[in-house]
């Protein structure tokens, strides 16, 4: 489980870096597509990372 959490963190950091760097040149079609894909990857990895930390409580408990 710890390895999955670390990989998710590294993936989020890499996709955020690509997102920032590709944001400087969105006039190029390749950079624009890379920016969109890295943004989607950041959202997906953030969701995955959040689900790894979710509490495992039985249903019916608050």
Per-residue pLDDT of the chain (62 residues; tens, 9 = 90+): 789 989 999 999 999 999 999 999 889 999 999 999 999 999 999 999 999 987 767 676 66
Cβ contacts of residue 5 below 8 Å, gap of 6+? Answer: 49, 52, 53
Q: How far from 8 is each of 5, 17, 58, 59, CA to CA, in Å?
A: 5, 14, 26, 27
Q: How many residues does the chain have?
A: 62
Q: Report DSSP state, residue 59.
A: T
How far is the C-alpha of 40 from the C-alpha of 1, rounded, in Å? Answer: 24
Could you tell me the pTM of the whole model?
0.79
């Amino acid at each position: 489980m710890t390895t999955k959490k670390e990989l998710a963190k590294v993936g989020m950091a890499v996709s955020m870096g690509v997102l920032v760097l590709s944001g400087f040149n969105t006039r190029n079609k390749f950079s624009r597509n890379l920016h969109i894909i890295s943004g989607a990857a950041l959202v997906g990895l953030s969701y995955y990372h959040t689900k790894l930390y979710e509490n495992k409580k039985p249903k019916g408990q608050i």
